[in-house]
Amino acid sequence: MNTMAMCDRFERDGILQIERGQPLDPHFADCAACATAQRKYERILAALPHAEPEVQPPIGWQARVLRASDTNAEPAPRKAPASRPLAPEIAFSLGIAALLLAGGLGVGSRDVAVDVTGEPVVEPRVTVLENEPDTLLPTPEPLALAVPTGDGSENAEPPRAPRPVAPAPPRAPSRQDEPAPPPAPETRAESEARNEAKAPAPEPATNAEPIQAPSRARSYAPKIVRPAKLYGFDLKYPRMAAYERVQGEVSVQCTIRADGRNTNCRILRGLPFLDEPILQALSASRSDPITVDGRPVDNSDHIWRISITLREGNDQPATARGVPLVRWKNGI
C-alpha cells in the first residue's frame, strides 16, 4: 500500500505520454496513486488558463510605437541581432550613461548652490531636463496626444535608454499627396499620430502671419513645474570633509511626494564624506511638489544637483586645529 502511495510513474511518464498524444500505460488505470496524480494534473491544466496576471499595456503605447517606427522608417536600418552578447565594458558604460540620463521618467533637475561659509545663497543655476509629458500624465481626452512642447530645451535631451521613444520629426505629407488613398481602416492611435504629425509640418512662408493649426490638430502639452527650493536643508558638513576641503557638485535622485517630502533618495554622483550627510539632509527637508497643470503629482522622480562650495579667503574662520569652521545657511 505504501509503495502504491509512493508511485510517481504518472508524473514521470504519464504526463509526457499525454503531452505527446501517446496511449497511456495500463498501469495508470490500476494504480490509485497515479489516478490521484492524474486528477491533480487535470485540475492544474484546467486552472492554468485562468492563472493570468491582469495587466494592461501602458497608456499611450501605440502612439509611442508609431512615433518610434516613423523615426526608424526613413533609413530602414537593419538591426544587429539583439541576442549578440555585448562586451561587459560597453554594457557597463551604457548602463552608467542610461543612469546619468535618467532624466527619462519624470526626472528633472535643479542646481542648488550651497555656501558652506554661511553666506547668503546665490546663483540658483537652473537646468531643467524636461521629459516626455505623457510619462507623467495620462492623455486626458481621446484626440489629445501628449507631445514635447518643442521649445528646444527638452528636445535637446535624448530619451530614456530602454524606452524606444523618440521625438517625432515632422512627417512629409503623405496621404494628401496620394491621388486615391486606400480605404484602409483608420484607428484612433493612427489618427492621433497623424494629427500630431500634421501640426508641426512646415508650411511655405506665403504670409507673414503665423498659420493657425486646425482645431483637431492641436496638441496637448502639460505644464510641468518643478521645485526650485529645498526647505530645511540642514547639511551636517563632516569634519573630515572640511579638513579635506571637499567641495563640488552632487546629484541626488529623489522621489517627491505630493506633500513635498523627498523620499527614496539615492546618490547619482557623490563627494567623499558627504554622501550620507546629504542623504540625511535631503530626507529631512521639504520642497514644493512637482505640479502638472497646477496639480501636485505624487511619487515623481526628481534630480537635485547640489553644488557645495567652500569659500576661499583669508577671513575664513578656523578652529584651533586649523579645520575650516563651517556654518550653514538654512532654507535653500
Partner 1 sequence: MTHVIAAGRAHGWGAVDDAPRKLGPDERAQEALACGDRRGALVLLMQEYGAAIHRYCHKVLRSRPLADDVHQLVFIQAFEDLGTFSGSNGFRPWLYAIANHRCLDALKANRRWFARFVFGEEPPEEMDAAPSAETQVAARDLPEALEACLGKLKPHVRIAVVLRYQEGFSYEEMARICRERPATLQARVARAMPLLRQCLENKGVDPR
Hey, is 113 helix, strand or coil? strand
Nearer to partner 1, 150 or 181 (CB): 181
Nearer to partner 1, 72 or 263 (CB): 72
Question: Which of the residues 116 through 175 are near partner 1 (CB under 8 A)?
Answer: 142, 162-165, 175
Hey, is 78 helix, strand or coil? coil
Q: What character string, x for contact with partner 1 (CB under 8 A) and - otherwise, covers 228-247?
A: --------------------
Closest approach of Cβ 27 to partner 1, in Å?
A: 17
Closest approach of Cβ 188 to partner 1, in Å?
A: 4
Tell how far CA 225 is from the center of its chain.
17
Helix (H) or strand (E) holding 255: strand 248-256
Q: What character string, x for contact with partner 1 (CB under 8 A) and - otherwise, covers 86-105?
A: x-x--xx--x----------
Grid cell in block for residue 211: 498659420
β pairing state of 230-231 and 300-309: unpaired
Torsion (CA) 330, 280, 161, 151 in degrees, nearest 10: -10
Q: What character string, x for contact with partner 1 (CB under 8 A) and - otherwise, covers 55-84?
A: xxxx--xx-xxx-xxx-xx--xx-x--xx-
Residues contacting residue 141 through CB under 8 Å, at least 6 positions apart: 220
β pairing state of 295-296 and 230-231: unpaired
Alpha carbons 269 and 238: distance in angstroms, whole number: 18
Q: Which range, of 38-46, 113-121, 260-268, 308-316, touches partner 1 by CB under 8 A?
A: 38-46
Instruction: Give the Cβ contact number of residue 131 at 10 Å.
Output: 21
Closest approach of Cβ 299 to partner 1, in Å?
A: 14
Q: Which residues bind partner 1 (CB under 8 A)?
A: 8, 11, 15-16, 18-20, 36-37, 39-41, 43-45, 47-53, 55-58, 61-62, 64-66, 68-70, 72-73, 76-77, 79, 82-83, 86, 88, 91-92, 95, 142, 162-165, 175, 181-191, 194, 216
